[in-house]
Structure 1
Amino acid sequence: MSYFDAKEIEIISKEKIGSMIRKTGKHKMDQQINENDKEPSWDGYIMLYSDEKKNKKSIICRIPIQLKGKEVKKLDNKFISFPIEICDLNNYFNDGGIIFFVVEVLAPSEEARIFYKFLLPRDIQLIKDEIKKEGQKTVNVKIDCILNEKVDFFKVCEKFKIERDHQSIAQVKNALPLEEIRPSKIEFLSVDDKFDIFNSPLYPYVRDEYNHLIPVRDVIEPTQIIIERYSDFIVKGKKYFNSYKEHRDREGERYYSFGDRIVVKGESITLEPSMGTVIERLNTIDFFVNTFSKEDLNKLEINNKKAGDILTEEKSIINRVIHVCNKYKIDLNKFYIKNLSKADYYFLEVLYDMENNAFDFTTDSNPTLVKIPIQDNVVLALKVKNDKGEKYIDYYDSNSKLILISEYEDIKLMYSRFVILNSDLLLCCNFDKDTIIKSIKSLDYNNRNNVADSYLLLALESIKAWDKIHNKEYLDLANFILEWYEDILSYEIVKINKAQIEMRLNTKLSFDTMKELYNILNSTTDESCKAAINILIGNKEGFKTCFDKFSHDEKERFSNFPIYNLYEDNVE
C-alpha cells in the first residue's frame, strides 16, 4: 500500500519541480503548472525570460511540460522507463515538443529525484518509428536526464528552444538516418560547454545544397566524454607516452587512462586487459616494470595473481608474438593481443617453433601445403608427418633444398617448389620474391625449354595476386620470370604480359609499347593474343569479336587469365 495518495504525490511533485527551477533557473524562469490535469496532454508551461525582472517584455518563450509523479521505496535509479500514451505523443509532435518530467518521491521523507526528457519532434518520430504493434495505445519511453542543483536548467531550456526552432514537422517526417546520408560533416546546435551534453541529448544536422540546416533522423545520447591531453611520461630518461585521457560520465565519475589501458581512479592504479597493438602493450608493461619496484608490483594483484608474475607472463607472450611477426613479416601495427583466439595461441607456438624445422627426406612423409592462420594473416607452410607426429616447415625458408621432380618423355624435370603456387597461395605474409627467384635460378640448368611454360603460369598467378592486394613485389616476380625465360617463350606472350604489367603500374601504356602491340595485332593469327591486345589498347568491339569466336571452354580459360581483369577497367 502506498504511503501517499495521488493528490499528495501531485502536490509534492509540483513543489519539487518549482523548488528546483528556482535553484537552477538563474531567476529567469517561472513555471505554471495546472492542478488536477485540467488540460489534456499538458500540465503547464515553463516561462523563460531574458532578465530577472520576468515581465512580459522579457519573455523569451513558453515551453510546454508534462509532469508525472510516483512513489518509490528508494532513490537509486539512474534512469526510468515510463509509459506514455501514443495519442499524447502525437499531440506533443504536432505542437513542436514538450519537456516530460517524472518525479520519484521517497516515502515518508518526501525526498525526491527528478527525471526529465526532451520530447522534441525528432525524439517523438524515433519513438513512433519503433512502434510495431497496430492499435498500440502506450509506449514505454526511457527517461535518463536527472535535474539536480548541478544542472544549469536555464541553459537546458534555452537548448530546447533552439532545437525546437530547427525541427519543423515536415522536415522531421522526411528526415533520413545518418547511416543512409553518410555526410562528410555533421553539426550540433547549442553546445557551449562539453560537459553540458549529459544534461540533454544531441541532435545532429547536415546542410543541404543551399547551406540550410536539415535535421537527421537520429538522436545521440552521450554516456561518456573523453578528453585527450598531451603530456610526456618519462621514467629514467625514457619517454613512454605523450598523452593521457580524462574520462567523465554522466554520473560525474572521473578517471584517467594512458598507455594500453592503465587506469587511474583516485589513489588506485589498474592495468586492464589490452586493447592496443602488441607494441603499445609491451611499452605499457615496460612502463609498469620500470616505474614500480618488484616489491610494489607483488603487492598488486591482477585476476588474483601477483602483478609481477602476470606482467612477466604477458611480456613473454608479447615477445614471442613480436618474434613471429618479424620472422614472417606480419605487420605489428595491426596486431592486437585482444584479438588472439585460442587457435591463434596454438598457431603462434607452431610458428615460433617452425623456424627450427627442416624437411628430412629420410623420415618425413605426406607433405601438404597449408596456410597457417593467425588473426587476419596467413603463413604458407609445409605440413609433414614422421614417427614423432606432425611438424610444420616454413615454405619460404631460404635454406630449404626442397625441389619438385616430374617425368616428361623419360626426361626427369626439376622445378622450384614455388612453381605450383596459385594466386591464393601466393597471398601470404611470408611471401618472399627473392627466395622464389633464388630457387628458380638455382635450377636454371635443368631443361629450360621444357619448364618455361610452367613458370609462365606462376608469372600469371603473381599478376593475379597483385590484383588482389597491389603489392608490387608480385609484379616484380612476374616481370623477372618473363625476362628470365624471354629467349624461350614466344615474343607475343612476353610482350603482351609485360604490357599488362606496365598497364597495372602506370594505368596506361607507353607509345613504344602500343606500337609493339599494334604490330603483333596486325601479324598474329592467334585469337587469344588478339583478344588480349584489344583489351590493352581499349578496343571493346575488337575484343568482343575475338571473344565470340571462342568455344565455351576457351572463354572459361581466357576469363581466368589476369588480362581479363583489365577488361572492365580499361575497355570503355
Structure 2
Amino acid sequence: MCLANGKIERIAVDAVRKEANKPGSFLKPEIAESDKGISFDGNITVYSDDSEKKESFSGFVPVQVKGTQVRTFHSNNISFSLELKDYRNYLKTDGVILFVVEVMDNGETKIFYKSLLSMELSILISQYGKQSTKSVKLRPLEETTLYEVCRKFLNEKTYQSNYLIGRDYSIFDEFTGFKLNSMTFDPSNVKTSNIFDHDFVLYGVLGKIQFPLSFGRFDKISQRDVITFRANGELFDLNTQIIIEELITTIEIEEIFKIKINRKDNRFNYKFTKFHSLAAQLRALPLIMNLFLGKTVEFNGSTLSLDSNTEKLKVQYEKVTKHYAEINELKETFEFFGIPLDTEFEKGEDANLFGILRTLRKITLENKLIGINLEEPGSGRLINLNIANRRIVVFYEPKSDKILINAFANEALNIKCFIKNDINGEAIPYSIYILLNIDSLTSCNFNPRIVCESFDQFDPFIDEVTFTHSINFCLKCIKAFDKSGDRRLLDVAKYIIMKHNEKQGNNRDHNNIVLINLLQINYRLCSGLSDLETKALIKLKYEEIQKNDIGLLFCINVLLKNRTEAQAVYEQLDNKTQEFYKELPIYEIYHDLLQM
C-alpha cells in the first residue's frame, strides 16, 4: 500500500515528537507537520530538567524532518540526499539536526538522524558546492536517545560557530594541545564502538578556547611502541607498530617482519620487509621462529598463532632458523669492526647487503682480501668500505696477522704516523686520523675516544706545521658535523683545540684562529654564543678593525650574527678568497645568517 506524501510527513513528524515527549527526555518539540518552511521544519527546545522553567532552558535545536516509505527498515546507516541550498541555509544558523523517518505501510516507524554542524557543512559546501544535491549518512536513533543527540548538538555547536570556521590558524604551533571529538562515537556501547564508522572533529586548544581545525573519519589507527610479547614461556620486548583498519590489523615487528590479519575471515599473510639493523634482527627473530613453530603469541591482551602443520610454514621456519644462525655469526663481525649493532641499513635496488656482510665476515675468517681491489696491495692504509648506505673505516696491513682491523680500535693507536716538515725535512709524529676525509669521519664505526687518545700521544701544536694540520683536521670534523649532525665530531674538534689553549701561545694569529674555531664549535653546540663569548668577540673586533684583517672581521661578524656587516666585509674579499671561505665551515653559519 502506497501512502500519500502528506501522511508520510505527518507520521514522520509525529514519530520525532513522540521521541521528544518520552518521560526522562527534557525536550519540547515545536515541529510543523507541513513542509512549508525554508529548509527547516521547526526546532526542539532543550532543558536541563523536566520542569521546563526559564532557568532550565539550554537552547534551541533547529530541525528538518523527512519521511520515506519503505517495505523493511534498514538495519544500519542510511544515505539521504538534500539540495546544496539547504546545506547553505543550515550553515547560516550554525547547524541543524536532520531526521529521516522510515515509514512502513502499517504505520511503524524507524528514525535516523544526522547532526550537521558548521565544520562539516563548510567542508561539504566547499567540496560539492557546484552540485545541485549531495547525500549524507544518517545513523539509527535507537543507538542512543533523542535527548543525548540534542544535548551533544548544543554542546558541540558552541565550538563551531561560523566565526571560527575556515580561518587560517597561523598560531597552529602555539596550541597547547589538541582534542578529537565525536557526537556519535561511544566505545562503551557495542552499537557505536566501531571507531571507523564515526565522524570526528579535530580542535586546537589554546587556553580555554577550542578552534575547529578539520573534520573527517579515521582510515586507520596506528600505535608505535615497545610491546611485550609472550611465547613459549619467554618474554620479548620489541619495537612494534600496530595499524588497525576497519577490517585489517597489521603488526610490524622491529621494522623487519610484517603480518596482516583480516579480522573478518581470520586470514593472514606475512613477509619480511627489510634488514633494518642487526640488533633488530637479533631481537625479533626468536619470536618469529616461535610463531612459525605454531606457538601462541600473547600481546596487549590478544593472541596470535599460525598453523605450523602447513608445509609453507615448515619451510619458512627452517629458513628463519638458518638466517638466525647467520645473524649471530655476523654479530662477531660487527663487534670486530666496531659497527654498532643498532646501525640501520637501507637496502638499495642493487645493493646486496647480506652479500657484503658475508664477504666482510669471510675476510676476517680467511685473513685475505676478498672483493676489494687495491692499486698497491703491498702497503698499509686506511680504507673506506661501503655497506649499503653506510660506511666503515678499516686499516689494511698486508703483513699483519689481521690484514683488516677496525680503524678505531685500541690497537690502531699503535700505528705509527709521521708528517714531514718541508723546511728541515724532519719527520714529526702525528695521528693516523689526519688521513681521514669528511666521509670517513661520518662512518658508522667512528670512535671519538680513540681519535682523542691518538692526539694525546704528541703535541698537536708544537710548531707551524702541526698547528696547520691540527686546525685543518678540526675544520674537517666541524664540516663532518654539518653533514651528519653527529655532535661527537664537535667534541673531538673542541678537545684538540683546547690543547692549544692549555699552551697559552704568544702567536697572536694562532690565538685568533683558535678562538674563532672554538667559538664556532660552541656556536653549533649551543645554537649561539654566551654573553662572555660575545663580549670577547666584540673586544677582538674593535682591535682588528685597526689592522683591517678582512677575513678575521668576516668570521667575527658572522659569529656575532651581524648579517649586514658580515655581508659587507665578505664582498670586500677578492674572488679567490671568497671561494676559499666557501669551503670553510664558518660559511655554513654565514649562509644560514643570510636566510634569516
Q: Normalising to structure 2: TM-score of the pair?
A: 0.63
Distance 1:29 1:512, change over 3 A: closer
| Other-structure match for 1:458 | 473
Displacement after TM superposition at 1:92 (Å) = 0.8
Partner of 2:134: 140
Map of 1:532 onto structure 2: 555
Q: Which amino acid aligns with 1:532?
A: C
**How far apart, in 2, do the equivalents of 1:16 and 1:224 lie?**
40
User: More displaced, 84-93 or 187-196?
Assistant: 187-196
2:97–2:113: 8 Å Cα contact kept in structure 1? yes
1:266-297 Cα offsets, whole Å, 9 max, x none, are: 99897966899876786565457669976877
CA distance in 2, matches of 1:225, 1:26: 37
Matched, 1:157 2:153: no
CA distance in 1, matches of 2:125, 2:154: 22
Instruction: Write out aligned runs for 1:171-186 (5 A).
Output: 171-172=164-165, 175-176=167-168, 180=172, 183-186=175-178
Q: Tell me the CA shift for residue 124 of structure 1.
A: 1.1
> RMSD of aligned C-alpha atoms?
6.6
Alignment correspondent of 1:117: 114
Corresponding letter in the other structure for 1:552:
N
Residue number among 86, 89, 92 corresponding to 1:91 in the alignment: 89
- How far apart in 2 are the matches of 1:243 and 1:361? 36
User: 1:388 maps to what in 2?
Assistant: none
Number of residue pairs matched by the alignment: 543
CA contact (8 A) 2:6 2:34 kept: no
3-state SS of 2:142 partner: coil
CA deviations 1:297-330 (Å, max 9, x no partner) are 7734899534745764775687689778766655
Q: Shift in Å at residue 87 of structure 1?
A: 1.1
- Residue in 1 that maps onto 2:572: 549
- Tell me what 2:380 maps to: none
8 A Cα contact 1:256 1:265, kept in partner: no
In the TM superposition, residue 462 of structure 1 has moved relative to its aligned partner by 0.8
Distance 1:491 1:342 in 2: 51
Contact 2:516 2:556 in 1 (8 A): no
Asked if the contact 1:4/1:71 (under 8 Å) is kept, the reply is no
> Which residue identity does 2:353 align to in structure 1?
F
Distance 1:63 1:215 in 2: 23
Q: Kindly indicate whether residue 365 of structure 2 is the aligned counterpart of residue 365 of structure 1.
A: no
Give the SS at the match of 1:219.
Answer: strand
- Cα deviation digits, residues 164-195 of structure 1 (max 9, x gap): 244333333x5346995662223567989665
Counterparts of 2:330 and 2:133, CA distance in 1 = 52
Report the counterpart of residue 40 of structure 2 in structure 1: 42
Q: Alpha-carbon deviations, 1:342-386, whole Å to 9, x = none?
A: 649733542453355478599823699675444xxx32469x9xx
Counterparts of 1:196-215 in structure 2, within 5 Å, are 201-206=199-204, 213-215=209-211
Q: AA paired with 2:94?
A: G
The aligned runs of 1:98-109 (5 Å cut-off) are 98-101=96-99
Conserved? CA contact 2:293–2:308, under 8 Å: no
Alpha carbons of 1:535 and 1:299: their partners in 2 closer, same or farther (altered >3 Å)? closer
User: Which whole-Å CA distance do the structure 2 matches of 1:370 and 1:475 have between them?
Assistant: 24
CA displacement at 1:159 relative to structure 2: 0.6
Aligned counterpart, 2:162 = 169
Q: 1:219-248, CA deviations, whole angstroms, 9 ceiling, x for partnerless residues?
A: 254567899999987778755459999999
The residue that corresponds to 2:518 in the other structure is 501
Secondary structure of the structure 2 residue equivalent to 1:157: helix
The aligned counterpart of 1:216 is 212
The one-letter amino acid paired with 2:115 is: F
Q: Which residue of 1 aligns with 2:379?
A: none
Asked if the contact 2:204/2:213 (under 8 Å) is kept, the reply is no
Aligned pair 1:305/2:313, yes or no?
Answer: yes
How far has the Cα of 1:551 moved from its partner?
0.5
Structure 1 range deviating more: 198-207 or 510-519: 510-519
Partner letter of residue 299 of structure 1?
A: D
Query: What is the SS of the residue equivalent to 1:146?
Result: strand
